[in-house]
Amino acid sequence: MQEETTLAPHAAWIQHRDDLHAWLATLPGDAALGFDTEFMRRNTFYPQLALVQLGWNGQYALVDPVAFDIGDALQPLIGQGDAVTVMHSASEVLEALSPFLPHGPRTLFDTQIAAAFVGMGLGISYRALVAELAGAELDKGETRSDWLQRPLTESQRAYATLDVVYLKTVHEQLAERLAQRDRAAWHAEDCERLKQRACYRGGDAQPQRTFRSASDWRPEQRALLRRVLLWRDQSARTLDRPRPWLLEDAAVMSLVQQPPRSAGELDARTRGQRALRSPQRVELLDVLQRAVDADEIAGTDTIPEAPQGEAKRALAAMKDCVDKQATELDLPPGLLCPRKVLEEYVVTAQWPEFLEGWRRAILAEPLSKLLP
């Protein structure tokens, strides 16, 4: 299909709660509502929601979430009602929305996930999806705009509106293809899983598990690593600053392996950490110097190591099994089971949470037979 560039249609600019209520009131209860956001995340832990774009049946609205609390207006239709909320690559959008919609939309249709289920590849961009299904080319000129500035430029408004203009066409075509392949239930399950993960506001209780290079550390070192990472995560949330601004990963590893003996040594070894001020340095020194007790060690999960020997050979066999099943189902192997999930399974022999649901029925029996 030949691509053509399309001008953005008019979108209402909404800065007041009553106006948003009125706009949403015109929609049927079971509307398929195109939904997108613009947010900023340069200097903060939490994304700063800067704009919400809505589209339904040729009507469009740009909502200013800086001007008022949008949550009470969105909840009845989206959070609690029967509307289908259509988004593309919804994870970060849901995270940015979580202060207003803590549990996300009741029914989510993620077009990127749907595209993977119908043979269009894993992680396809919205721009590519629109080009393929709507024959239109989206402008990328405002991708890195300052969306918190007011007023927005005409170019910004046009760019933002076009992000929801084609969601209706994309949604309808993908929903039809999902039905043809009998994949609608699988897609809905993955959307629900994505929604729960993205809307979870707590941190990882076992963050040390991702630090594979520490897998051979002594138990008390792993417990201290977990303690420092938990402190960093909570401090970043409290200060609303990116985690690396408090401590970069390399600094975490160095401090845990060789804890500083004094405040002066800590200052010297953490110089340049932008959010690590005097109060945080005092806290961190205590976190590092306090003795690790038996309860902390018992409460710290082991860190999965890289597969070696028999485990490595089993991993290769599992990867072949996943590839074969994916080919038979006409699914991307990474959608069926990412490699990192297999790596953890082959080392721990514990069935991964990611493989629950529809994936278990396909993979549990053949993969379990391949465990070393």
pTM: 0.92
Angstrom distance (rounded) from CA 239 to CA 330: 46
Mean pLDDT score of the chain, rounded to an integer? Answer: 95
296-341 pLDDT, tens digit per residue, is 999 999 999 999 999 999 999 999 999 999 999 999 999 999 999 9
Q: Give the C-alpha separation, 200 to 324, whole Å.
A: 34
User: CA-to-CA distance for 230 and 87, rounded, in angstroms?
Assistant: 32
SS3 110: strand
Q: Which of 31, 30, 48 lies closest to 39, judged by CA?
A: 48
Q: Which burial class, exposed, middle or buried, applies to 327 when counting CB atoms under 10 A from its CB (0-12, 13-18, 19+)? A: exposed
What digits encode the pLDDT tens for the residues 187-222?
999 999 999 998 888 889 999 999 999 999 999 999
Say which amino acid occupies 266. Answer: L
What is the rounded average pLDDT of the residues 100-110? 96
In three-state secondary structure terms, 109 is strand
Q: At what angle do helices 219-239 and 278-289 cross, to 10 degrees?
A: 160
Is residue 340 within 8 A of residue 333, CB to CB? The reply is: no
Over pLDDT 90: what percentage of the chain? 93
Task: Give the pLDDT of residue 178.
Answer: 98
Could you report how far apart the first and last alpha carbons of the chain are, in Å?
50
What does the alpha-carbon distance between residue 285 and residue 305 come to, in Å, rounded to a whole number?
29
**Predicted confidence band at 366 (pLDDT cuts at 50, 70, 90)?**
very high
Q: At what angle do helices 278-289 and 249-257 cross, to 10 degrees?
A: 40
- On the question of pLDDT at 6 being above 60, the answer is no
pLDDT in the model for residue 12: 97
- pLDDT > 70: what percent of the chain? 98
Render pLDDT for 218-265 as a digit per residue (tens, 0 to 9). 999 999 999 999 999 999 999 999 999 999 999 999 999 999 999 999
- Answer whether residue 126 shows pLDDT above 90: yes
Q: Which among 48, 51, 105 has a CA at the least distance from the CA of 81?
A: 105
Segment (H or E) for 59: strand 59-63
